[in-house]
Every structure is written in structure tokens, then in C-alpha cells.
Structure 1
């Protein structure tokens, strides 16, 4: 449905009505972060979640599995519009709830397990 209005120049202006629908296979994804890049033609944003997997014994490193949940590909104009949209919604959010801050990781002391061996003094 369109609505017609007269503008100051006497021309008939039509309004656009957008209907939003979600297909049956629509799914929402929660993500803790994003990564991506751009080319001259588009911007790509992959949204991911991390799952700790423990320690790699050979390198003594923490292993985290990063799973890309979904990727969005945007035209440069759509990326710019998304940027403006996000900036406005972040301003609105902070006006309601206060500044968004990054959680500062505190170094944790590694607690050594107690010796529970039954043979005391054995090295």
C-alpha cells in the first residue's frame, strides 16, 4: 500500500511501506565477537563463539576453538549504513544503561593441586 502526499512543489510524493517477514528456517545466532575484512566490492563480517578446549601439552598453551556461526556480506553502502545504525543504537544504549566497558582480565593465581598420593615422601 502506498500513500500519496503533496509536497511543496505540488508534485505527488509516494511513501514506501516495508513489510518485514522471517522465513520458516530463520534462526538467531548469539556471538561473542566478529572478524572480517573488505575488498573494493564488499565487506564481510563473520560472527563467532569461542569454546575453551583445555591445554595443548606439547606447547603448554590454552586451546580455544573459535566457531564462525554465520557470515554477513554487505555492499560498501550497506556497511556504512550499518555503521551509522550501530553508532546510534550504542549511543541510545549508553544513555539508558551507562558506558559499555571491556572486562579487564585479572591475572589468576594458579592453584597447585594438593598431593593426594598415598606414598608420602616419594618423588
Structure 2
């Protein structure tokens, strides 16, 4: 249902009401990070979790398996709106609880993947 209001100038404005429905098979995923990229047509964000797998015997380096749990593909406009929504919620969170800080990493240097082409698929 929409609600109509009349402005002092006599214009009629309508409000839009959106109902959010979660299907029975709705699931939530916790992610410790995200990676992705963009093309001229869309943005792709893959959400992941890491699992330590131990040390490689040959190189004596620790192996962490990064598992991409889900990927979201959105239009540039939707990505911009998501960015603005996140920025506002981060400001609200920090106003209530204080600044969000990164944990200092005292571990060995991490070898990051070179790029995110795998998740983008076609770039």
C-alpha cells in the first residue's frame, strides 16, 4: 500500500513501501573477507573464509586455504548504493562503539593472490 500526501504547492507525493521476504531456504553466511573486481558491466564480490592447513614441508611456509563461500554480482549503480549504505552503517557503528581498528599482524609475511581474475571469470 502506498501513502499519498499533498505538498503546500498542491503536488501529490507518494511513499513507496517495500516488503522484505526471506524464502524458506534462506541462509546466512559469515565471511572474514571479500575479494572481487569489476568490468564495464558489473561488480563481483566473493565472500570468503580462511582455514589454516599447516606448514608445507618443502618451503617451510604456512598454508591457509581460502574458501569462497558465495559471490554477489551487481550493477554499477547497485554497487555504488551498497558502498553508500556500508559507509553510513560504519559511521553509525563507530558513533556507538568507537573506531573500528585493524588487528596488527605479527605473523609471517603473507603471499597474496596476484589478482582477482579467478572470481571475475571473464576479465
C-alpha distance in structure 2 between counterparts of 1:47 and 1:8, whole Å? 48
1:35 equivalenced with 2:35 (yes/no) = yes
RCO (CA 8 Å, sep 6+): is it higher in 1 or 2? 2
TM-score under structure 1 length normalisation = 0.82
- Greater C-alpha radius of gyration: 1
Residue in 2 that maps onto 1:11 = 11
Structural mapping, 1:79-94, within 5 Å? 79-94=79-94
How large is the Cα RMSD of the aligned pairs? Answer: 1.4
Question: Residues 5 and 18 from structure 1, CA distance in 2 versus in 1: closer, same or farther, beyond 3 angstroms?
Answer: same
Distance (Å, rounded) in 2 between the aligned partners of 1:7 and 1:70: 45
- 2:17 alignment partner, SS class: coil
Structure 1 gap segments, 5+ residues each: 109-123
Q: Which contiguous aligned blocks of 4+ residues in structure 1 show a shift greater than 6 angstroms?
A: none
In 1, Cα distance between the equivalents of 2:82 and 2:71? 15
The structural deviation recorded for 1:7 is 2.5
CA deviation string 1:17-60 (max 9, x = no partner):
10001011100000000000000011000000000000111221
Q: How far does the alpha carbon of each residue in 1:39-98 deviate from its partner, in whole angstroms, 9 at most, with x for none?
A: 001100000000000011122111111000111111101111111111111111111111
What residue in structure 2 maps to residue 45 of structure 1? 45
* Residue aligning to 2:62: 62
- 2:104 is aligned to 104
Q: TM-score, normalised by structure 2?
A: 0.82
Unaligned runs of at least 5 residues, structure 2: 109-123
Aligned to 2:114: none
